[in-house]
Amino acid sequence: MTHAQQEDQLPSRSRGPLTGTVVVDLTRALAGPHAAMMMGDLGARVIKVEAPGSGDETRVWGPPFVEGSDGEDVATYFLSCNRNKESIALDLKSEDGRAVLTALLRRADVLMENFRPGTLDRLGFPPEHLAELNPRLVVLSISGFGHDGPEGGRPGYDQIAQGEAGLMSLTGSGPEDPQRVGVPIGDVLSGMYGAYGVLAALLERERTGRGQVVRTSLLASIVGVHAFQGTRWTVAGEVPLAQGNHHPSISPYGLFHCRDGAVQIACGNESLWRRLCAEFDLDPDTQGLETNACRVAHRPHVIALLEDTFADLDGQTVLDRLAHAGVPSGRVRHLDEVYGWDQTRSQGLLVDVDHPTLGSISLPGPPLRFFEPDGTETTLRDHQSPPLLDQHGESVRSWLTEDDAHAGA
């Protein structure tokens, strides 16, 4: 089937950059589903293959649950990572399930899976067979700790990976207080890196005509964002440790308490430091504060100085004065405040969809926007709600049958 024919088979949606691309999503939990959702956000047709009866395990990850019109509970966890997808239930250990999956793979551009390494092989779909079925197929495989190496087959969950990949050692109030990041960041990063790899492989396919296997892992994705903390060790030989809400290499840069709460300040250069000092009648050339390196070395003194300065001021007054001085600053918002913020809505970060049993619901939206050179926005706005289990099973099977009929005509 050509891409133009595929587009005619798509549910009615606004065109996105990946319109005409078909993704078969064998993933579950979060890392893989997030990658597949990113493809759907860009206009791809994403067909989520789930186990009959139970489906993706995140369908029961809760509370919180929301009761649908059919009396069934819907997990908000599942809703967070499965928009813009169709669902078909297939038993991949059965002859029928494998046959339907085979038909899907012959027509797909992308296959995504996050089974433990070797599982897809045991189901009868090793990489060489996938290439025989569809030489243009791009395959994304996400694992916990990598597909090879001494611990390649090790199962991975986000909490474990955050610890093993060093992220928890960098997060917390101090070295004795390791903390996980408040979202499953290893899973989300794996999904993001996975989608990024798939897009690169699709681009290369335009030159070579052939697909390839893209692999990433929770371990790789977290190590991939160590940034300057990584080079502190690999180059400078320093082992970074958690130190709370203040930057290890810039000062002042962090959270500072005031009369009724706290504000965040980021003085990324000397000019910003001097503007802050001028606004609050501080001497920027006080001994120990003259340079960023000096302030980092005397960070406790800098924190105490600013918090003493802000002690009699409410947070909004501090923020107003910092804004007047041109110093980057901000609040610490709760999520209800974030989603109620006009700026959030203006960026398309909250989308409304019609769910089959929940009715109209709002979901966190995709973070990308697209524009023509003349400024006309072309961002896909027509989003589909996360599907019920096997909601599209009949229509997907019908599409496969009709496609076979067209091919034989």
pLDDT (average), residues 347-376? 95
CA pair distance 321, 307, nearest whole angstrom: 15
Quick check: is 8 catalytic?
A: no
Confidence check: pLDDT of 69 > 50? yes
Confidence check: pLDDT of 10 > 50? no
Residue range 180-222, pLDDT digits in tens: 999 999 999 999 999 999 999 999 999 999 999 999 999 999 9
Which residues of the chain are in CATH 3.30.1540.10 domains? 253-330
pLDDT (average), residues 367-384? 93
Contact 76, 70 (CB under 8 A): no
DSSP-derived letter for residue 53 is T
Q: What is the DSSP string of 16-32?
A: -TTTT-EEEE---TTHH
User: Does domain 3-225+348-408 sit in CATH 3.40.50.920?
Assistant: no
DSSP-derived letter for residue 109 is S
Confidence check: pLDDT of 109 > 80? yes
Q: Which of 187, 382, 403, 404 is catalytic?
A: 187
* Distance set, CA 374 to CA 271, 282, 319 (Å): 36, 47, 36
- Residue 407: the pLDDT is 65
Percent of the chain with pLDDT over 70: 95
pTM for this entry: 0.91
Instruction: Report the length, in residues, of the chain.
Output: 409
Contact 10, 19 (CB under 8 A): yes
For the chain, the average pLDDT equals 93
Regarding the domain delimited by 253-330, which CATH topology (the fold level of the hierarchy) does it fall under? formyl-coa transferase, domain 3 (3.30.1540)
Which residues of the chain are in CATH 3.40.50.10540 domains? 3-225+348-408
CA pair distance 391, 203, nearest whole angstrom: 32
Phi-psi region of 406 (alpha: psi -120 to 50; beta: other; left: phi over 0): alpha
